[in-house]
Structure 1
Amino acid sequence: MSPTRRQLPPRPETAERRRDILRAALEIFGSKGYNNGPLAEIAEQVGMTHAGILHHFGSKDRLLVEVLRYRDESDVEGIEGQHIPDGTELFRHLIRTAFANEQRPGIVQAYAVLSAESVTDGNPGREYFEERYQVLRGEVAAAFRVMCAEQGVEDPETLDHAAASILAVMDGMQVQWLLDPSNVTLAKTSAFAIEAIAAQVLDPRSAPFTAAPDSPA
Protein backbone atom coordinates (compact mmCIF):
# COMPACT_ATOMS: atom_id res chain seq x y z
CA MET A 1 0.00 0.00 0.00
CA SER A 2 1.50 3.30 -1.05
CA PRO A 3 1.86 6.02 1.59
CA THR A 4 -0.63 8.89 1.59
CA ARG A 5 0.75 11.85 -0.30
CA ARG A 6 0.96 14.92 1.89
CA GLN A 7 -0.82 17.87 0.33
CA LEU A 8 1.60 20.73 -0.15
CA PRO A 9 0.55 24.35 0.33
CA PRO A 10 0.08 26.34 -2.87
CA ARG A 11 3.09 28.11 -4.27
CA PRO A 12 3.31 31.82 -3.32
CA GLU A 13 2.45 32.97 -6.84
CA THR A 14 -0.58 30.65 -6.94
CA ALA A 15 -1.80 31.85 -3.55
CA GLU A 16 -1.44 35.47 -4.62
CA ARG A 17 -3.31 34.76 -7.86
CA ARG A 18 -6.17 33.27 -5.87
CA ARG A 19 -6.27 36.36 -3.66
CA ASP A 20 -6.44 38.56 -6.76
CA ILE A 21 -9.44 36.57 -7.97
CA LEU A 22 -11.12 36.75 -4.55
CA ARG A 23 -10.65 40.52 -4.36
CA ALA A 24 -12.11 40.97 -7.85
CA ALA A 25 -15.02 38.63 -7.11
CA LEU A 26 -15.74 40.43 -3.84
CA GLU A 27 -15.97 43.73 -5.71
CA ILE A 28 -18.14 42.40 -8.55
CA PHE A 29 -20.44 40.26 -6.41
CA GLY A 30 -20.78 43.22 -4.06
CA SER A 31 -21.83 45.62 -6.80
CA LYS A 32 -23.91 43.26 -8.96
CA GLY A 33 -24.84 40.38 -6.69
CA TYR A 34 -23.97 36.73 -7.12
CA ASN A 35 -26.45 35.93 -9.89
CA ASN A 36 -25.63 39.02 -11.96
CA GLY A 37 -21.88 38.98 -11.37
CA PRO A 38 -20.42 37.04 -14.32
CA LEU A 39 -17.25 35.00 -14.03
CA ALA A 40 -16.13 36.49 -17.34
CA GLU A 41 -16.04 39.97 -15.80
CA ILE A 42 -14.07 38.71 -12.81
CA ALA A 43 -11.64 36.97 -15.17
CA GLU A 44 -11.22 40.10 -17.26
CA GLN A 45 -10.44 42.21 -14.19
CA VAL A 46 -7.56 39.93 -13.19
CA GLY A 47 -6.32 39.29 -16.73
CA MET A 48 -7.43 35.67 -16.92
CA THR A 49 -9.89 33.53 -18.83
CA HIS A 50 -13.16 32.07 -17.60
CA ALA A 51 -11.47 28.66 -17.65
CA GLY A 52 -8.62 30.06 -15.55
CA ILE A 53 -11.04 31.08 -12.79
CA LEU A 54 -12.57 27.59 -12.81
CA HIS A 55 -9.10 26.06 -12.65
CA HIS A 56 -8.52 27.79 -9.31
CA PHE A 57 -11.98 27.41 -7.75
CA GLY A 58 -13.85 24.73 -9.68
CA SER A 59 -17.20 26.51 -9.94
CA LYS A 60 -18.89 29.84 -9.39
CA ASP A 61 -20.65 28.42 -6.32
CA ARG A 62 -17.32 27.44 -4.80
CA LEU A 63 -15.87 30.85 -5.62
CA LEU A 64 -18.72 32.50 -3.71
CA VAL A 65 -18.03 30.42 -0.61
CA GLU A 66 -14.33 31.27 -0.79
CA VAL A 67 -15.15 34.97 -1.23
CA LEU A 68 -17.25 34.86 1.95
CA ARG A 69 -14.43 33.20 3.86
CA TYR A 70 -11.98 35.75 2.50
CA ARG A 71 -14.26 38.53 3.77
CA ASP A 72 -14.36 36.89 7.19
CA GLU A 73 -10.57 36.88 7.39
CA SER A 74 -10.58 40.68 7.19
CA ASP A 75 -12.60 40.84 10.42
CA VAL A 76 -9.94 39.10 12.50
CA GLU A 77 -6.82 40.65 10.98
CA GLY A 78 -4.56 41.87 13.73
CA ILE A 79 -6.29 39.84 16.44
CA GLU A 80 -4.06 37.50 18.40
CA GLY A 81 -4.82 33.93 17.38
CA GLN A 82 -6.93 35.15 14.45
CA HIS A 83 -10.21 34.39 16.22
CA ILE A 84 -12.97 36.42 17.84
CA PRO A 85 -12.26 37.11 21.54
CA ASP A 86 -14.57 36.38 24.48
CA GLY A 87 -16.28 38.29 27.26
CA THR A 88 -16.12 42.08 27.30
CA GLU A 89 -13.37 42.06 24.69
CA LEU A 90 -15.79 40.57 22.13
CA PHE A 91 -18.03 43.63 22.35
CA ARG A 92 -15.02 45.91 22.01
CA HIS A 93 -14.05 43.88 18.94
CA LEU A 94 -17.51 44.37 17.42
CA ILE A 95 -17.28 48.12 17.93
CA ARG A 96 -13.77 48.21 16.45
CA THR A 97 -15.10 46.25 13.48
CA ALA A 98 -17.81 48.87 12.93
CA PHE A 99 -15.18 51.62 12.91
CA ALA A 100 -13.01 49.59 10.52
CA ASN A 101 -16.00 49.02 8.22
CA GLU A 102 -16.37 52.75 7.67
CA GLN A 103 -13.04 52.58 5.86
CA ARG A 104 -13.98 49.60 3.64
CA PRO A 105 -17.39 50.27 2.09
CA GLY A 106 -16.75 47.76 -0.70
CA ILE A 107 -16.49 44.87 1.75
CA VAL A 108 -19.53 46.09 3.66
CA GLN A 109 -21.54 46.36 0.44
CA ALA A 110 -20.53 42.86 -0.63
CA TYR A 111 -21.60 41.43 2.71
CA ALA A 112 -24.94 43.26 2.67
CA VAL A 113 -25.73 42.16 -0.89
CA LEU A 114 -24.63 38.55 -0.51
CA SER A 115 -26.30 38.03 2.87
CA ALA A 116 -29.60 39.37 1.51
CA GLU A 117 -29.33 37.15 -1.57
CA SER A 118 -28.67 34.09 0.59
CA VAL A 119 -32.32 33.87 1.66
CA THR A 120 -33.43 33.16 -1.92
CA ASP A 121 -34.14 29.63 -3.10
CA GLY A 122 -31.10 27.65 -4.20
CA ASN A 123 -28.54 30.33 -3.33
CA PRO A 124 -25.17 28.65 -2.68
CA GLY A 125 -24.37 31.10 0.12
CA ARG A 126 -27.37 30.16 2.26
CA GLU A 127 -25.67 27.39 4.25
CA TYR A 128 -22.70 29.66 4.90
CA PHE A 129 -24.85 32.47 6.31
CA GLU A 130 -27.05 30.12 8.32
CA GLU A 131 -23.94 28.68 9.98
CA ARG A 132 -22.34 32.10 10.36
CA TYR A 133 -25.30 33.57 12.21
CA GLN A 134 -25.67 30.47 14.37
CA VAL A 135 -22.00 30.60 15.37
CA LEU A 136 -22.01 34.36 15.97
CA ARG A 137 -25.19 34.24 18.07
CA GLY A 138 -23.57 31.54 20.17
CA GLU A 139 -20.34 33.52 20.58
CA VAL A 140 -22.12 36.73 21.56
CA ALA A 141 -24.40 34.87 24.00
CA ALA A 142 -21.33 33.17 25.50
CA ALA A 143 -19.65 36.57 25.92
CA PHE A 144 -22.75 37.80 27.70
CA ARG A 145 -22.63 34.82 30.05
CA VAL A 146 -19.04 35.70 30.96
CA MET A 147 -20.01 39.31 31.62
CA CYS A 148 -23.14 38.37 33.57
CA ALA A 149 -21.50 35.77 35.80
CA GLU A 150 -21.19 38.27 38.65
CA GLN A 151 -24.45 40.10 37.91
CA GLY A 152 -26.87 37.27 38.64
CA VAL A 153 -28.33 37.34 35.12
CA GLU A 154 -29.00 33.72 34.25
CA ASP A 155 -31.93 33.83 31.82
CA PRO A 156 -30.66 32.05 28.65
CA GLU A 157 -33.55 33.42 26.60
CA THR A 158 -32.60 36.98 27.47
CA LEU A 159 -29.01 36.39 26.40
CA ASP A 160 -30.13 34.73 23.16
CA HIS A 161 -32.40 37.68 22.38
CA ALA A 162 -29.61 40.13 23.13
CA ALA A 163 -27.13 38.25 20.92
CA ALA A 164 -29.52 38.17 17.96
CA SER A 165 -30.37 41.85 18.51
CA ILE A 166 -26.73 42.96 18.40
CA LEU A 167 -26.13 41.15 15.11
CA ALA A 168 -29.34 42.58 13.68
CA VAL A 169 -28.34 46.10 14.68
CA MET A 170 -24.88 45.81 13.16
CA ASP A 171 -26.12 44.41 9.85
CA GLY A 172 -29.08 46.78 9.68
CA MET A 173 -26.89 49.80 10.36
CA GLN A 174 -24.62 48.76 7.51
CA VAL A 175 -27.55 48.86 5.08
CA GLN A 176 -28.69 52.29 6.32
CA TRP A 177 -25.14 53.62 6.08
CA LEU A 178 -24.65 52.30 2.55
CA LEU A 179 -27.88 53.97 1.46
CA ASP A 180 -27.29 57.30 3.19
CA PRO A 181 -23.68 57.70 4.39
CA SER A 182 -24.05 61.47 4.73
CA ASN A 183 -26.71 61.18 7.43
CA VAL A 184 -25.92 57.85 9.10
CA THR A 185 -22.75 57.30 11.10
CA LEU A 186 -22.02 53.59 11.00
CA ALA A 187 -19.48 53.22 13.78
CA LYS A 188 -20.84 55.54 16.46
CA THR A 189 -24.44 54.45 15.94
CA SER A 190 -23.48 50.78 16.05
CA ALA A 191 -21.46 51.38 19.21
CA PHE A 192 -24.41 53.19 20.83
CA ALA A 193 -26.75 50.28 20.08
CA ILE A 194 -24.31 47.60 21.25
CA GLU A 195 -23.69 49.45 24.50
CA ALA A 196 -27.43 50.02 25.05
CA ILE A 197 -28.24 46.33 24.56
CA ALA A 198 -25.37 45.26 26.82
CA ALA A 199 -26.48 47.73 29.50
CA GLN A 200 -30.03 46.34 29.41
CA VAL A 201 -28.71 42.80 29.87
CA LEU A 202 -26.36 43.71 32.71
CA ASP A 203 -28.88 45.94 34.49
CA PRO A 204 -32.40 44.82 33.48
CA ARG A 205 -35.04 47.51 33.63
CA SER A 206 -38.65 47.72 32.64
CA ALA A 207 -39.46 47.67 28.94
CA PRO A 208 -42.24 50.22 28.55
CA PHE A 209 -42.60 49.74 24.81
CA THR A 210 -43.16 45.99 24.95
CA ALA A 211 -46.78 45.01 25.49
CA ALA A 212 -47.60 41.79 27.33
CA PRO A 213 -48.83 38.98 25.04
CA ASP A 214 -52.42 39.35 26.28
CA SER A 215 -52.47 43.13 26.15
CA PRO A 216 -53.90 45.14 23.25
CA ALA A 217 -51.32 46.66 20.94
Structure 2
Amino acid sequence: MTAARPRSEERREAILRAAFEVIAERGYRGASLAAVAERAGLTQQGLLHHFPGKEALLVAVLEERDRWDTGGGGASGRSGWRLDLLATLVEYNAMRPGMVQTFSALLGESVTDSHPARAFFVRRYTAVRADMAELLRTEFGERLPCGLTPERAAPLLTAVLDGLQYQWLLDPESVDMAAAFRDFMVLVGWEEVK
Protein backbone atom coordinates (compact mmCIF):
# COMPACT_ATOMS: atom_id res chain seq x y z
CA MET A 1 0.00 0.00 0.00
CA THR A 2 2.88 2.41 0.66
CA ALA A 3 4.14 1.99 -2.93
CA ALA A 4 0.75 3.04 -4.34
CA ARG A 5 0.62 6.28 -2.39
CA PRO A 6 3.81 7.82 -3.81
CA ARG A 7 2.78 6.78 -7.33
CA SER A 8 -0.60 8.43 -6.81
CA GLU A 9 1.11 11.58 -5.55
CA GLU A 10 3.46 11.56 -8.54
CA ARG A 11 0.49 11.20 -10.89
CA ARG A 12 -1.30 14.06 -9.15
CA GLU A 13 1.79 16.28 -9.50
CA ALA A 14 2.04 15.38 -13.19
CA ILE A 15 -1.61 16.33 -13.68
CA LEU A 16 -1.05 19.67 -11.93
CA ARG A 17 2.03 20.40 -14.09
CA ALA A 18 0.03 19.52 -17.20
CA ALA A 19 -2.82 21.77 -16.07
CA PHE A 20 -0.39 24.67 -15.54
CA GLU A 21 0.97 24.19 -19.05
CA VAL A 22 -2.46 23.94 -20.68
CA ILE A 23 -3.75 27.00 -18.79
CA ALA A 24 -0.65 28.97 -19.81
CA GLU A 25 -1.15 28.02 -23.46
CA ARG A 26 -4.94 28.11 -23.79
CA GLY A 27 -6.23 30.22 -20.91
CA TYR A 28 -8.92 29.35 -18.39
CA ARG A 29 -11.75 28.58 -20.83
CA GLY A 30 -9.56 26.57 -23.19
CA ALA A 31 -8.14 24.40 -20.40
CA SER A 32 -10.38 21.38 -20.86
CA LEU A 33 -10.08 18.22 -18.81
CA ALA A 34 -9.43 16.31 -22.04
CA ALA A 35 -6.48 18.58 -22.93
CA VAL A 36 -5.00 18.27 -19.43
CA ALA A 37 -5.48 14.48 -19.41
CA GLU A 38 -3.79 14.15 -22.80
CA ARG A 39 -0.85 16.31 -21.69
CA ALA A 40 -0.48 14.21 -18.52
CA GLY A 41 -0.59 10.97 -20.51
CA LEU A 42 -3.94 9.87 -19.07
CA THR A 43 -7.45 9.31 -20.20
CA GLN A 44 -10.02 11.81 -19.04
CA GLN A 45 -11.44 9.07 -16.80
CA GLY A 46 -7.98 8.58 -15.30
CA LEU A 47 -7.75 12.28 -14.55
CA LEU A 48 -11.20 12.21 -12.94
CA HIS A 49 -9.90 9.52 -10.56
CA HIS A 50 -7.64 12.21 -9.04
CA PHE A 51 -9.86 15.30 -9.50
CA PRO A 52 -13.67 14.96 -9.64
CA GLY A 53 -14.14 17.86 -12.06
CA LYS A 54 -12.65 20.93 -13.70
CA GLU A 55 -13.31 23.20 -10.71
CA ALA A 56 -11.58 20.78 -8.33
CA LEU A 57 -8.58 20.60 -10.66
CA LEU A 58 -8.41 24.37 -11.02
CA VAL A 59 -8.63 24.90 -7.25
CA ALA A 60 -5.77 22.40 -6.80
CA VAL A 61 -3.77 24.34 -9.41
CA LEU A 62 -4.39 27.59 -7.51
CA GLU A 63 -3.38 25.97 -4.20
CA GLU A 64 -0.19 24.71 -5.83
CA ARG A 65 0.43 28.14 -7.37
CA ASP A 66 0.17 29.70 -3.90
CA ARG A 67 2.72 27.20 -2.56
CA TRP A 68 5.12 27.92 -5.43
CA ASP A 69 4.67 31.68 -5.20
CA THR A 70 5.51 31.70 -1.51
CA GLY A 71 8.34 29.20 -1.44
CA GLY A 72 6.28 26.28 -0.16
CA GLY A 73 4.16 27.82 2.56
CA GLY A 74 1.03 28.67 0.61
CA ALA A 75 -1.41 31.22 1.95
CA SER A 76 -1.05 31.15 5.72
CA GLY A 77 1.49 29.12 7.57
CA ARG A 78 4.05 31.32 5.92
CA SER A 79 5.58 34.55 6.77
CA GLY A 80 8.71 35.98 5.40
CA TRP A 81 6.84 38.11 2.90
CA ARG A 82 8.46 41.47 2.30
CA LEU A 83 6.89 44.52 0.71
CA ASP A 84 9.44 44.53 -2.11
CA LEU A 85 8.63 40.88 -2.85
CA LEU A 86 4.97 41.80 -3.38
CA ALA A 87 6.04 44.14 -6.19
CA THR A 88 8.11 41.30 -7.67
CA LEU A 89 5.11 38.95 -7.47
CA VAL A 90 2.98 41.49 -9.34
CA GLU A 91 5.64 41.61 -12.08
CA TYR A 92 5.76 37.80 -12.18
CA ASN A 93 1.98 37.55 -12.49
CA ALA A 94 2.12 39.81 -15.54
CA MET A 95 4.16 37.08 -17.24
CA ARG A 96 1.51 34.39 -16.71
CA PRO A 97 -1.84 35.69 -17.91
CA GLY A 98 -3.42 32.23 -18.10
CA MET A 99 -2.89 31.64 -14.40
CA VAL A 100 -4.12 35.13 -13.47
CA GLN A 101 -7.17 34.57 -15.68
CA THR A 102 -7.90 31.22 -14.01
CA PHE A 103 -7.60 32.76 -10.54
CA SER A 104 -9.79 35.74 -11.45
CA ALA A 105 -12.47 33.70 -13.23
CA LEU A 106 -12.76 31.21 -10.38
CA LEU A 107 -12.76 34.01 -7.82
CA GLY A 108 -15.61 35.76 -9.62
CA GLU A 109 -17.63 32.57 -9.91
CA SER A 110 -16.97 31.55 -6.30
CA VAL A 111 -19.12 34.30 -4.80
CA THR A 112 -22.17 32.05 -5.24
CA ASP A 113 -22.97 29.90 -2.21
CA SER A 114 -22.78 26.55 -3.96
CA HIS A 115 -19.63 27.06 -6.04
CA PRO A 116 -16.98 24.38 -5.35
CA ALA A 117 -14.19 26.98 -5.10
CA ARG A 118 -15.96 29.14 -2.52
CA ALA A 119 -14.44 27.45 0.53
CA PHE A 120 -10.95 27.67 -1.01
CA PHE A 121 -11.28 31.42 -1.56
CA VAL A 122 -12.78 32.08 1.88
CA ARG A 123 -9.85 30.20 3.48
CA ARG A 124 -7.34 31.84 1.16
CA TYR A 125 -8.50 35.40 1.82
CA THR A 126 -8.57 34.85 5.57
CA ALA A 127 -4.99 33.60 5.37
CA VAL A 128 -3.83 36.28 2.94
CA ARG A 129 -5.23 39.09 5.11
CA ALA A 130 -3.41 37.61 8.11
CA ASP A 131 -0.20 37.32 6.07
CA MET A 132 -0.49 40.90 4.82
CA ALA A 133 -1.11 42.17 8.36
CA GLU A 134 2.00 40.30 9.52
CA LEU A 135 4.03 41.73 6.63
CA LEU A 136 2.85 45.26 7.41
CA ARG A 137 3.54 44.82 11.12
CA THR A 138 7.06 43.62 10.34
CA GLU A 139 7.67 46.60 8.02
CA PHE A 140 6.00 49.35 10.06
CA GLY A 141 5.16 48.15 13.56
CA GLU A 142 1.70 48.69 15.03
CA ARG A 143 0.94 51.79 12.91
CA LEU A 144 1.57 52.40 9.23
CA PRO A 145 2.74 55.83 8.00
CA CYS A 146 -0.90 56.62 7.17
CA GLY A 147 -1.99 55.81 10.75
CA LEU A 148 -3.86 52.56 10.06
CA THR A 149 -3.15 49.39 11.97
CA PRO A 150 -1.78 46.45 9.96
CA GLU A 151 -5.13 44.63 10.34
CA ARG A 152 -7.06 47.59 8.89
CA ALA A 153 -4.63 48.04 5.99
CA ALA A 154 -4.34 44.33 5.06
CA PRO A 155 -7.72 44.04 3.27
CA LEU A 156 -6.94 47.22 1.34
CA LEU A 157 -3.55 45.91 0.22
CA THR A 158 -5.16 42.62 -0.83
CA ALA A 159 -7.88 44.48 -2.75
CA VAL A 160 -5.31 46.52 -4.65
CA LEU A 161 -3.34 43.41 -5.63
CA ASP A 162 -6.38 41.54 -6.93
CA GLY A 163 -8.11 44.62 -8.38
CA LEU A 164 -5.06 45.41 -10.49
CA GLN A 165 -5.20 41.89 -11.91
CA TYR A 166 -8.80 42.35 -13.07
CA GLN A 167 -8.02 45.70 -14.68
CA TRP A 168 -4.93 44.27 -16.40
CA LEU A 169 -6.84 41.25 -17.73
CA LEU A 170 -9.48 43.53 -19.20
CA ASP A 171 -7.08 46.07 -20.73
CA PRO A 172 -3.44 44.92 -20.65
CA GLU A 173 -2.34 47.69 -23.01
CA SER A 174 -3.52 50.41 -20.62
CA VAL A 175 -2.78 48.88 -17.21
CA ASP A 176 0.77 48.14 -16.12
CA MET A 177 0.19 46.13 -12.93
CA ALA A 178 3.74 46.43 -11.64
CA ALA A 179 3.95 50.20 -12.20
CA ALA A 180 0.49 50.73 -10.70
CA PHE A 181 1.43 48.71 -7.61
CA ARG A 182 4.63 50.73 -7.16
CA ASP A 183 2.53 53.91 -7.50
CA PHE A 184 0.21 52.58 -4.79
CA MET A 185 3.17 51.99 -2.51
CA VAL A 186 4.27 55.60 -3.05
CA LEU A 187 0.71 56.86 -2.56
CA VAL A 188 0.41 55.29 0.88
CA GLY A 189 3.93 56.30 1.89
CA TRP A 190 5.53 52.84 1.76
CA GLU A 191 8.11 53.78 -0.81
CA GLU A 192 9.75 56.98 -1.93
CA VAL A 193 9.12 58.41 -5.41
CA LYS A 194 11.94 57.40 -7.74
Asked if 1:117 corresponds to 2:116, the answer is no
* Runs of 5+ unmatched residues, structure 2: none
Residue equivalent to 1:22: 19
> Which letter maps to 1:137?
R
RMSD: 3.5
| C-alpha distance in 2 between matches for 1:152 and 1:182 | 33
* Runs of 5+ unmatched residues, structure 1: 201-217
SS at structure 2 position matched to 1:167: helix
Q: CA deviation at 1:111?
A: 1.1
Listed one character per residue, the Cα deviations across residues 9-34 of structure 1 (whole Å, up to 9, x for unaligned) are: 2379635532344325645995329x
Equivalent in 165, 170, 188 of residue 179 of structure 1: 170
Listed one character per residue, the Cα deviations across residues 180-216 of structure 1 (whole Å, up to 9, x for unaligned) are: 111111111112213433549xxxxxxxxxxxxxxxx
Check the 8 A contact 2:168/2:175 in 1, yes or no: yes
Asked if 1:48 corresponds to 2:42, the answer is yes
Structure of greater Rg: 1
| C-alpha distance in 2 between matches for 1:29 and 1:139 | 32
Listed one character per residue, the Cα deviations across residues 132-188 of structure 1 (whole Å, up to 9, x for unaligned) are: 1111111111222233338698x8x73222110111011111111111111111111
Cα 1:161–1:198 change in 2 (3 A) is farther
Equivalent in 54, 62, 65 of residue 68 of structure 1: 62
> Which letter maps to 2:28?
S
Paired-residue identity, %: 34
Q: CA deviation at 1:42?
A: 3.6
| C-alpha distance in 2 between matches for 1:55 and 1:147 | 45
Q: CA deviation at 1:75?
A: 1.2
| C-alpha distance in 1 between matches for 2:2 and 2:101 | 41
| C-alpha distance in 2 between matches for 1:41 and 1:6 | 28
Give TM-score scaled by structure 1 length. Answer: 0.69
